[in-house]
Structure formats: structure tokens, C-alpha cells
A and B are shown apart, each in its own frame.
Chain A
Amino acid sequence: MKKSIILFAMIGLTTFAFAQKKQTTTSATINFDATTSTDALPKAENKTVIASLDAKTGNVAFESVIKSFTFGNPRIQEHFNGEKWMDSDKFPTATFTGKITNLSAVNFKKDGTYSANVTGELTMHGVTKPVTTTANIVVAGKAINTTTDFSVKLADYGVNGSAIAAGKVATESKISVVAEFK
């Protein structure tokens, strides 16, 4: 009897520990789009982004390796990583840390689609700036799918390449982040 109580208590504790654990994925994706009407090439995808979600605190984060962004065109990819652009040798990652500010509006235990307000800080090219966005959260069983779109002004992050001035690269880039937690 005593043994089974201890056993149940242990199972209970383990489940509790799992429920509290921050969820992570190493295969989140980020799409980067800085195309303009004159140039459809500055567009890239990174499928090996690390993301985390803590359903209890509402903390969210992602880490993205700049060199992991894949462009269709080799030369654009080289420019993107170059000193005048992201300077990926010096600044190898872009990171975001933030928080869901309307956590009570999201029920991670109930299937459904929720709209979450996210506020945080994006660091890229060595510059940290505040970002506020909305994330779409879909809860389906144990899986949580999150999608968010926001745009960043490249100049705010000290990225001022001549291609931007020439209108070939958009001054505001669209960034789309998709993360699935299981």
C-alpha cells in the first residue's frame, strides 16, 4: 500500500514536472522577405531555428543562425552574409526573447485557435530593439502551432547596404516565424 502511494506520488510529480517544462523545438522556420517590385531575389528561409515556449509564464524565444538562411541565388546569399549586410562572421545569430502579454486569453490545455499579443526584444546585427507583434496559436491535442509575422526596418539594426538605397532590397523586411511544439 505504502509502496503504491509512493509510486503514484512519483508518477504525479513526473507528470507535473513535464507539464511545467518549457517546450522547445529545433526545427522552427523563419522566412525572410525583402523583395521589391524591381527585385524578387532577396528572399530566404531558415528551417533549423531553435524556439521555446513556456505555457506557464508565457515566455517565448527563438535563436536563428544567420548563415542557415538559404537563398535561391548564391550571390544574394553571399551579400546577405557579407560585412555590408548581416556580417554573419561577426554576428552569427539573431535572437528574440519575449512574453505573451495576454496569457489568460490562451488556453494551452484546450484545443482551439488563439491570438496572442507578444512583446519582446529582437537582436540582430548586434543591435537590440523592441518588437511587438501578434501570434496565432493553434492547440491541437499535445501539439501547439505558433505563427507570427512582423516587419523590421533594416536601418534600425544598422543594416544600410547600397542595395537598399537603390530600391532593390525593401527597407522593411517581412519576417515570418513558424514553430511547432509537440
Chain B
Amino acid sequence: MIAAKRPWLKKILALAFILVVAGGLAVYYIFTEKFDDTSTQKSLFTVSAIDLINEFKANDSAANTKYAEKILTVKGVVTAAEAADTTVNIKMVDSLTDSYIIFAFQQQHMKEAKQLKEGDVVSIKGSCSGGTYSKILETEFITFKRCAINK
């Protein structure tokens, strides 16, 4: 009735309805968004474990700016597979200085990670969380999260 008298009102109501639905979808998207599978993501850098350790040791603030929160591929030799709760972390250690890189895996890649053992040569892709000096271990360490093994 009102709409018949004021045809513009119908348009405004329709527009408002569309906006509410779009807003709702946007909020739903933000709240249910998940991290992509790392294996489907592109590496911004590919480095050897020892080069990466040396780069962080030489200047860790520059290396953090360059690598933190970016997807990297790191190639190296597995020094240890450490149990972390019910999961496993893979570690690559520079035997000269005890500085190390440690990789925590994405849930869907845990099975592959659990098969790795000391001495394996491997290429791992993951999100670099940066590096810092450990006061407990008195050495530089670099951490990675959401990792996957490159096949």
C-alpha cells in the first residue's frame, strides 16, 4: 500500500535488504576464514637452511623484515624430529654454532612430517615466524609455522 504510493520506498527497501545480506555474508566469511593449505601457496624465497641461519645471524632485524610472515621454501638436512605434544617438529641445526631452524606443521601435513628422520634431505615450505636470539640456549633460532613438505 505504502509502496504503491511511494515507489522509491520499494527500491530503498530492496537495496537495504541486499546490503544486510552482503554485510552478513562478509562477516560470515571473515569469521569462518581459514588459512590456505601451505602446499598450494607460492614460496616467495627458496633458501638453504645454513644460508638462512647465517643471514639471521648476520643481521636479524633485516632478516626479520625480509622474511617474517612470508612463505619460504627451506632446503636442508633433518637434524632431529622432536615430539611436540601429539605432533612432531622438524629441526635443522648448524652444528658449528647450534643455531637452528624449527618447523611446526599444518595438521594435514603432519603424517608426512612424522615419517621424516634424522639425516633426510628435505625441502620444507612454511610461514616464517622470524628469528631471534635465545637467552636460554644462547644461540639464534628461527621458527616456522603451518609447514608442508615439498614433494
Contacts and interface: CB of A to CB of B under 8 A. Distances in A.
A115 interface: no
Nearest to B128: A67
A75 B33 contact: yes
A65 B30 contact: no
B112 interface: no
B132 A65 contact: yes
B33 A74 contact: yes
A146 interface: no
Contacts of B69: 67, 81
**Most chain A CB atoms below 10 A, which of B35, B85, B136:** B136
Contacts of B84: 27-29, 47-48
Nearest to A75: B30
Given A26-B102, A72-B34, A74-B33, A92 B82 contact: no
Contact of B104 (A48, A50, A61, A63): A48
Interface stretch (B14-22, B41-49, B116-124, B140-148): B140-148
B143 A68 contact: yes
B5 interface: no
Interface in B90-138: 91, 100, 102, 104, 129-130, 132, 134-137
B54 interface: no
B31 interface: yes
B83 interface: yes
Contact of A26 (B33, B68, B100, B130): B100
A151 interface: no
Contacts of B34: 72-74
Interface string A78-98: 000100000000001101000
A147 to B, nearest CB: 10
A26 B145 contact: no
B89 interface: yes
Size class of the contact patch on chain B: 20 to 34
Size class of the contact patch on chain A: 20 to 34
A164 interface: no
A50 B134 contact: yes
A29 B143 CA distance: 13
Contact of B82 (A25, A63, A95): A25
Contacts of A52: 136
B87 interface: yes
A68 B132 contact: no
A47 B146 CA distance: 11
A106 interface: no
B110 to A, nearest CB: 11
Nearest to B69: A67
7 contacts: A26-B82, A26-B137, A29-B85, A47-B89, A50-B136, A92-B64, A180-B83
Interface of A: 24-29, 41, 47-48, 50-52, 61-63, 65, 67-68, 70, 72-75, 81, 92-93, 95, 178, 180
Given A27-B89, A75-B33, 12 more contacts: A28-B84, A47-B85, A47-B104, A48-B129, A65-B129, A67-B130, A72-B35, A73-B31, A74-B34, A74-B35, A81-B69, A180-B83
